[in-house]
Every structure is written in C-alpha cells, then in structure tokens.
Amino acid sequence: MKLSIIVPVYNERNTVREILRRVKAVDLGDVEKEIIVVDDGSTDGTSDILKFEEDSSTRVISHSQNFGKGAAVRSALPYVTGDYILIQDADLEYDPDDYAALLKPVLKGKAEVVYGSRFTGEHRNMLFWHMVGNKFLSLVTNILYDSTLSDMETCYKLISKKVIDGITLKCNRFDFEPEITAKILKKGIRIYEVPISYAGREYNEGKKIKWVDGFIALWTLIKYRFVD
C-alpha cells in the first residue's frame, strides 16, 4: 500500500523542517510514503527552507499567494499516487508516530476513512473555548449526519483515494474540515476513529484558526446537509 501525505504550509519556518523530518523518519513497514508539500503563499522564509526539502519522496508545490488550507489540499490532489491520503499540518501539534494507529483499521480491512481523535488520546490541555468549539461542532455534525464523531475538526483524516475521487471539494480555508466530513458522511461511509496524541499550541506560538472560523464551520455543516 502507498500513503500520500499532504502537508499544507503557511508561514511555518520554525516548524516545517522538523515536521518533515518526523514524517520522513516514521517507519510504516511495508507501507510506502510519498509527501506532497503545498507552500500556500508563505512570506516568512518558509519557501526558502522548502527549496532544500524536495527529494525523491517529497514534492513541493507553491502558491503565489495565501489561499487557505482547503485550496492547498486541492492543489495537491492531482499529484497523489497513493492508495490513501493523510493530511498533516506543518506545525508540531500532531505527531507522525500516530500514523501506524491510523493505518491499522485500514490494513485490517475495517475502514475506508479513519479520523484521529484528540479527545480520546493523550494530549496537552488545549484552550478551553477552543475545546468547547470543537465539541460543539462535532455535536452538530452528529445531529445533522447521524454519526458519533468525537473530533470532526481533527487534522488527521486518513481517506482512501477512491473516496476522495468521488467527492467534489470547494472550500478554500479551514471550512475544508467540515466540508469533507459532511460529504463523506452523506455518502453513507462510516468514519472510524482512533485515539491520537495532541500538543496544541498557543496563539503566540503561531496558531492560526480564529473564533470566526467556528461560525464558518457551523454554516458549512448546515449548508452541505442540504446541498452537494
């Protein structure tokens, strides 16, 4: 099996080299890896670092300006050659050592889509209102789409290429997370969850998601419940 790891990057010069080192170093046994990095219009020197990261297993794509996480993922998809796709943020909040746990249900034939839940695994305590927002959005997802997800907004989404190919993605920014979840669930695909570790960072450390993104996510969940 081949795993395609998409890494959207925007102004992460302090962490991008280390996260790519960790992604490349993680041992997945017989599972082959390819890494597709999308520099989403970085202006802090991230682009200069990425010039030295491209190799036989790592492709770097550059946007001329910042379009958002969803747009970065869409830009990467035409270059995917793997059987499964995993999203990896370029900060250090998520640990590539959890890849094996995400892949386990797939390798056992139990799932086509696996989410890593930050709320069922070990984690550094996150900001209170950030936690409340995440749990509220997961609750809304479960009500609207008849599911029992504990962490809809998780970065770690492992999805088969066959499933991705059957979905038309439109959202450009952080609303990518509720959009893809809504469209997976509307297809009748049950999402498998596994515990992952999480080391959330503070806003002064570079965290980018804002409170307004929560309202956009809520609207996205409602909208895609009734339209394609």
Q: Over the stretch 8-67, which tens digit does the pLDDT of each residue have? A: 999 999 999 999 999 999 999 999 999 999 999 999 999 999 999 999 899 999 999 999
pLDDT tens-digit map of 90-100: 999 999 999 99
What's the burial of 227, exposed, middle or buried (CB within 10 Å: 0-12/13-18/19+)?
exposed
pLDDT in tens, 22-31: 999 999 999 9
- CATH assignment of the domain containing 8: 3.90.550.10
Q: Rounded to an integer, what distance in angstroms lies between the CA atom of residue 58 and that of residue 34?
A: 6
pLDDT at 121: 64
- Rg of the chain in Å (alpha carbons): 16
Residues 213-222 have a mean pLDDT of 90
* Residues spanned by the domain of 65: 2-226
Residue 126 has pLDDT above 80, yes or no: no
211 pLDDT band, cuts 50/70/90, is low
β-pair type (58-63, 123-124): unpaired
Domain count, the chain: 1
pLDDT above 50 for 206? no
Q: State the pLDDT confidence band at 131, using cuts at 50, 70 and 90.
A: confident
pLDDT of residue 147: 95
Task: Name the pTM for this structure.
Answer: 0.90
Per-residue pLDDT at 32? 97
pLDDT at 168 over 60: yes
CA distance linking residue 212 with residue 155, whole number of Å? 18
C-alpha pair distances (Å), 113 with each of 109, 154, 187, 204:
11, 13, 12, 33
